[in-house]
Structure 1
């Protein structure tokens, strides 16, 4: 569980469930990304936001949200006095395909049920359902 805790980004994304996390990236997906975006294959796998200092091929200048959380001394944005803030705003023009649009939801659920329970029961479920069908509360998820 401790490894998964370190793979929850301050913004509430579950890096351990991400398709480009080094433990999940397939050769097929790496090939697709390489061909579509011209990213060298060795730069595609991600170790997680905190482990890479918020830098990855799609964030060459780093993640402002991670830097903000560090500056404010919070582990998760939901612990910040300014939560929610513009750093967590959804990307309306890409809402149908970017998981970043569920950050505030994840942080609210973490605040309500705790990080360990969220990791065990819900992390990834909202992401899957967000893109495929309406979310249905499963066993142990109702409050």
Structure 2
């Protein structure tokens, strides 16, 4: 698995996503198909780079289009980083990892995409969804 190719330009770790083809369960596939009103056979995510956008949006991705227009692989490589496309939102924050984008991108810039993917991505996502928020320390697994 090429984790760099399976990392979205915006900083999301497609390889850890529950709808990525290697991770999806039948239960999740059914829920996603019902939610998007598409056949279960179409719930087959290979990562946003390969399929030119996110399966969950059923459209092209403005952020992917933007990095391509700027000639970079990741948002952190752009002179306009961070931009409004990466602004966090509270809606869906309990279900979706979208608020991790800027943090992930900053870590990638600091230590490199490959090292972030191998050493930090899984733990960052786990702490985001399972950790307890403690001001000044970030999410902590108790």
Normalising TM by the smaller chain, what interval?
A: 0.7 to 0.9
Question: How many pairs does the alignment contain?
Answer: 135
Deviates further, 90-99 or 65-74: 90-99
Aligned-residue offset at 1:118: 0.5
User: Please, which runs of 5 or more residues in structure 2 have no aligned partner?
Assistant: 133-138
Normalising to structure 2: TM-score of the pair?
0.87
Deviation at 1:112, TM superposition (A): 0.7
Identify, as 1 or 2, the structure richer in strand.
Answer: 2
Q: RMSD between aligned alpha carbons?
A: 1.7
The aligned counterpart of 2:7 is 8
Shift in Å, 1:35 = 3.5
Q: Please, which of 101, 107, 112 is the counterpart of residue 109 of structure 1?
A: 107
CA-CA distance at 1:75 after TM superposition: 0.5
CA distance in 2, matches of 1:35, 1:67: 28
* Higher mean C-alpha deviation, range 101-110 or range 120-129: 120-129
**d(CA) in 2 for partners of 1:34, 1:52:** 17
Unaligned runs of 5+ in 1: 138-143
Instruction: Specify the alignment match of 1:141 in structure 2.
Output: none
Alignment of 1:1-143 (within 5 A): 3-56=2-55, 58-134=56-132, 135-136=139-140
